[in-house]
Amino acid sequence: MVVKPGDEVVGTGITYGNSGVYFSAFWHPGNDEAEALVGKFAAPMSNGALPAWSRGWPGGGGFDAFLGADVGADGVYFPGASYSQTSDSVGGKERKEIVAKFNLDGTSGSDTAGAVWVARQRFYPGSNGYDGDEFFNAARVSVEGGTTYFYGGGHAQENGCNNNYAIRKYTATGATVWQWQQLSGACGGSDINAIAVDGTNVYAAGSSSYAGNVPQVLRFSAAAGSSGPSATFTGTLDAGYTSAAYTSVALLGGNIYAAGYLSNGERQAYLLDEWNTSGTRLVHQVWSSDATKANSQQLTGITAVGSRLFVTGWTRDLDNPATAHNMGGPTTPVFLDNSAYHGFGDGVIFEINPSNGDVVSTTTYGTNDAKDQAFTGVTTDGTDLYVVGGERDATGFYHVIVQRYGLSVPTTLTTSAAGSYGGTATLQAALSGSGGPISGATVNFTLSGNAVGSAVTGANGVASLTNVSLAGVDAGSYSGVVGAAFAATGNFQGSNATGDLTVSKTGATITVTGAGTFLYNGQTHAAAGSVTGVLVPTDTLGSATITYTDLSTKSTTSSAPVNAGSYGVNASFAGNTNYLPGANNSLTITITPASTTTSATSSANPSVFGQSVTFTATVSAVAPGAGTPTGTVTFKDASTTLGTGTLIGGTTTFTTSSLSVASHTVTAVYGGDTNFTTSTSPTVTQTVSHASTTTSVASSATPSVFGQPVTFTATVAAVSPSAGTPSGTVTFKDGATTLGTGTLSGGTATFTTSSLSVASHVITASYSGDVSFSASAAQPVWQQLSPTGTGPDVNSQQFVSDGQGSLIMFGGCGPTGCNTSSNTFALRDAFGVNGTTAWVQIPTTTNPGARHAHVLAYDSILNELIASGGCAGGCYPLAPDTWKLTNGNGLGVGTPTWSQVIPSAPPANGYLVGQFAAVDSAHSALMIYGGQNGGGSACSGSTTGTTETVNTSTFSWASLPTSGGPPGTQYLSKGGYDPNSNRLIISNGWGCANYNELWILTHANGRDTGSTPTWTKLLSQGAAGSPPGGVWPTDYSPARNTLFLVEASSTLVPNLWRLSNANGLDASGTATTPAWTLATTTGGPSGQPGSALDDPVLDHQERKRIGCVDVSGCHPGKHDDHGCFVRESVGLRTVGDVHSNRERDQSGRWHANRRCDVQGRRKHPWKRHGERFGPGDVCHVSVVGGRSFNHRGVRRGHEFRDEHVVCAVAHSQSGTAADLRLHREFEPGRLQPVADI
């Protein structure tokens, strides 16, 4: 704006923002008139440029001026005073403060002069009776919490003689947020000339006469300033000055810098103070352009450029120091209308050191010219300074001046470089000036003195040169090897710098092998790691350190895993000069449990109740898994748990004796462990049978007297291997009559009676069994007999039984030799039934020659003893003859007489030794098997396996043609004959080895016309459960179909073996497999050498006793004549004592006053006991050997089942009717009586 001479014009405010420089000015044609001007220059402003836009503000005959400017993002704000645009409510019209907001691009708004809005609020609207002059000198835009606000500050009149501080906060739409005005009441003046805001506090700078014409900074709360200043920072007057004012204020480094002047009349000085936010003045500087003169000089503007601080103003004496004169007159506004007093002035720019307020540099405008210049405000775009002011030329014309000053900016350059070993480096340089970072500048780099390239600084002033090779450079720090240079450009001075290169260690590649999933096999599964360079692959860095982390327990070890689980593989590298430590933890080793199989076995299957059974479980790994499983195995009976066992070496056991009588489905369930999966064994079907028992009975008083209470106690015990205590009931009987029952408690039961008649009573006790224990009667008991009389020669031990209680002996061997006697002896009451066991010599004539290993047989019907063959010497010569003894037992009719029998045909194999012989008396058949000729071993051709038959009536010999078999060439064979099935049984003997094969020969007596005798092997050599092979003595019970075998021992009690179903048939006649069982016996002759124990015989009358004769004694070294037998009774003696054997037990009972006539081929001699059948009684008699007889008396119809009852008939020498003794018998395989007589 250019005005006519004499009209004063000046620029009043300047601000930079949004790529523009905005200014305000006014034209002052007279003391009471002014017109405002606002506008914008594009930035950066070029020389001679015109405003991008400008707008005038009509004065309308009054004072209208804008005295400051500030810009925001949404517009530019101009504060000032207006006469034409305001009104008064009291008194005459005066100027009021205004704020006008214009669009940034200058486009017209809807308010006065194209403003967007004009704020016309007043501080004193007349409520105090006065409405005076109000001005805004200061402007500041502030963004607080994202919202734009505007602050205006100046003064307001409280009365006609004062000016008071006034400040208002506006919204971006012109609404008042808060305002404050000073109330003093006195005459004077206070004025706010500049404002700065830090977002929290508002700092208003000015001066006040109320405080002594001193400069002040008022601090307000930006949020709530209406309550007045929160603090007032008051400056001081230096000596020689009477007043001072702050004209401008700026914030730098968190402190407040206030600029202005000191004054004393026409003498003025520049003033700069630095305050902290607490009100402490840190710097106070006062200076003059020429301290020797009373100059008019002021600071009118202040701005910070980065860390640099600039102030602007004017001075009055620099144009022509020699002729300079004082300004004379008011100093504000800058130029006075009275030009007669004006001298020449200059605009001035000072750069100030912010730390101490010293002047760094001075720049003047208008020096040595004929013009007056003054700078009234300053702003910056960060690179240049823009100043506003006024100028009066030599012709008297006034101008508004807006000038741009490029800052000769010293630059600071720092540089550094960083990269990784084997890679590249990035070189960086930071270029900055006093205004902050310098962008767009080119920086040239060197590395170790070698140029490596250049880069341009960015907005942050940083230039980065990338991809600079570090080949051959080890990791480390290299001082001063990086160079950076910036050549002076524009306002910026050149600068150079050196810096350090940091080469960091680089990472290595860690490769891991050996990870994966494996099946447990008891072996370690190790991983391996190798380390190589990444950027320098040729660097081989060795092996990685491997550790393993159990992902379940989180424990870590260096040992490779063995057990099943998941393991993190940790491959680590400790690093070296060029490589960082590193780790590869990405891989996992998983070991899965191996599958298993479980098997189970039983130590005893089948077993009996109470027997201890051990189940053994074996757990094995299934290939390809390996190792030995651990943990526990649960043994189950179906779904019921029996118990558990801990595996040791892959096996475990569980022992129980609590299995019930049943079929048990037993499995072993392996529960698995860390390394092995579970598995279940196949089923073991454990069969548990009833436990066998033994029952014994005892009397509390025997003998007793009539009417005396007698308590019978039965004891029932489990037979090993079973265990436990039987329960249930025991039945006590007197013969066939039931006396009563008792309930077992603790294995015993009792029955007490006082009703026994005067007699000898055979008391028996039978246990009925329970769910776990079998029924039982008495077990076999060995009982030693003490025969009376003189026995045979000690070497005569070959005997047979007559089936009526006597043993007949002829020949044999003994401990001192063989063939020492040819006498015939009988052992009466051989089984101790009557307690009269006695040796008698049967008187004979013409005895056969002494011999041993000969055939000795007895025909019970003919009562004849037969002796044939055998060894007459050592075993030579053989005895080539056959003899018979009539009245063979010495109890029949006539004198026993030996006579040699001339056979109708000689034996097919001649006379032999060690032949097996059996008699079928009913069919007059003698069967002879095997034998040896006495000239060699059993394996030579001297042994035969043929069968001979002899008719015992005619003594005609014949070889029996057979099929199948035969059992092999053997001698000293043992066995028996079953007349009911006509089967010959060979159970053991001697051949090439000890035989225990079991053979039967059907149609053995040769009398079954049209049927071929056939050999059949029923049990093989060494069959399970069989007695050991050997020449063990045997006897056969046809009634029981049971073969008895006595296994002798030189040191132990003989074992008694029973072969049930010995003929290969069951009770119904159906073919079956015989079975050996070892009987449990009590007592017995110990220490019997095998050769001293000859053939046993069965008491076929009693059916309960098996006896043997050993004239050498039942104990080694003892020489006396006695017999011994096994008693299978369950009875109890009621009369007599053991030694006299006066016993009546369940094996037989006398029945008084009973008698029957006996029909049959022969009478059965028996000793008379005076107990008779009564007249009219009938019995059905089954005689041993299968013959049956019906015996009728006066009374008919009383019969007994022949398979259960044997009637043994005794008669007198005269052949009259004999007494009958009835003998109780059990069914085969049972110990329970089935009939009572």
The HSE-up count of residue 1111 (CA atoms within 13 Å, CB side) is: 27
Collapsed DSSP state (helix, strand, coil) of residue 451: strand
604, two tokens: 């005893």
841, two tokens: 């010599």
Say which CATH topology domain 2-406 has: Methylamine Dehydrogenase; Chain H (2.130.10)
Sheet strand arrangement including 33-42: 8-17, 20-30, 33-42, 53-57
Strands 763-767 and 1131-1132, how do they pair? Answer: antiparallel
Residue 207 CA to residue 497 CA, distance in Å, equals 47
Q: Would 412-504 and 783-1132 be classified into the same CATH topology?
A: no
CA–CA–CA angle 581, 587, 588 (5° rounding): 130
Collapsed DSSP state (helix, strand, coil) of residue 226: helix
The CATH code belonging to domain 783-1132 is 2.120.10.80
Residue 1089 CA to residue 971 CA, distance in Å, equals 19
The position carrying tokens 């004072």 is 63
* Residues paired with residue 1206 on neighbouring β-strands, in sequence order: 1223
The position carrying tokens 């405080």 is 211
C-beta separation of 153 from 138 below 8 A: yes
Residue from 667, 664, 668 nearest 629 by CA = 668
How many helices (H) and strands (E) in the chain? 0, 92
Collapsed DSSP state (helix, strand, coil) of residue 279: coil
Collapsed DSSP state (helix, strand, coil) of residue 824: strand
C-beta separation of 841 from 823 below 8 A: yes
pLDDT of residue 758: 85
DSSP type of residue 594: B
C-beta separation of 474 from 421 below 8 A: yes
Residue 800 CA to residue 1098 CA, distance in Å, equals 10
Residue 907 CA to residue 910 CA, distance in Å, equals 5
- CATH of the structural domain 412-504, one choice from 3.60.10.10, 2.40.33.20, 2.60.40.10, 3.40.50.1000: 2.60.40.10
pLDDT of residue 91: 62
Task: Kindly report the CATH class assigned to 596-689.
Answer: mainly beta
**260: which residues sit within 8 A by CB, 6+ positions away?**
193, 205, 207, 215, 244, 245, 246, 247, 248, 271, 298, 299
Max Cα–Cα distance, the chain, nearest Å? 206
677, two tokens: 């999966």
Residue 430 CA to residue 411 CA, distance in Å, equals 10
User: In 837-913, which ranges are E strands?
Assistant: 838-841, 855-859, 864-868, 882-886, 897-901
**460: which residues sit within 8 A by CB, 6+ positions away?**
430, 437, 439
Residue 781 CA to residue 775 CA, distance in Å, equals 18
C-beta separation of 252 from 436 below 8 A: no
Residue from 861, 870, 862, 968 nearest 911 by CA = 870
43, two tokens: 């930035």
Cα separation values, 195 from 202, 218, 527, Å: 7, 9, 74
CA–CA–CA angle 647, 649, 651 (5° rounding): 50
Residue 79 CA to residue 151 CA, distance in Å, equals 9
Residue 1171 CA to residue 388 CA, distance in Å, equals 170
Residue 149: CB atoms within 10 A of its CB come to 19
C-beta separation of 989 from 936 below 8 A: no
C-beta separation of 435 from 306 below 8 A: yes
User: In 316-441, which ranges are E strands?
Assistant: 346-352, 359-365, 372-380, 384-392, 398-406, 412-420, 424-433, 436-437
Strands 412-420 and 495-504, how do they pair? Answer: parallel
Element (H, E) at 147: strand 147-156
Residue 649: CB atoms within 10 A of its CB come to 9
DSSP type of residue 1123: E
Spans of all domains in the chain: 2-406, 412-504, 508-592, 596-689, 693-777, 783-1132, 1150-1237
- pTM of the entire structure? 0.44
DSSP type of residue 875: S
Residue 548 CA to residue 1064 CA, distance in Å, equals 72
CA–CA–CA angle 1035, 1039, 1045 (5° rounding): 20
Strands 817-818 and 813-814, how do they pair? Answer: antiparallel
C-beta separation of 1013 from 962 below 8 A: yes
Say which CATH topology domain 693-777 has: Immunoglobulin-like (2.60.40)
One-letter amino acid for residue 850 of the chain? A
Cα separation values, 616 from 327, 603, 639, 676, Å: 129, 8, 18, 19
For the chain, residues with pLDDT lower than 70 are 1-8, 28-32, 59-61, 89-92, 125-130, 290-295, 317-344, 434-435, 778-781, 783, 833, 904, 935-942, 992-993, 1050-1051, 1082-1237
Residue from 871, 857, 1026 nearest 933 by CA = 871
Residue from 299, 276, 314 nearest 198 by CA = 276
Residue from 145, 155, 42 nearest 95 by CA = 155
**110: which residues sit within 8 A by CB, 6+ positions away?**
116, 117
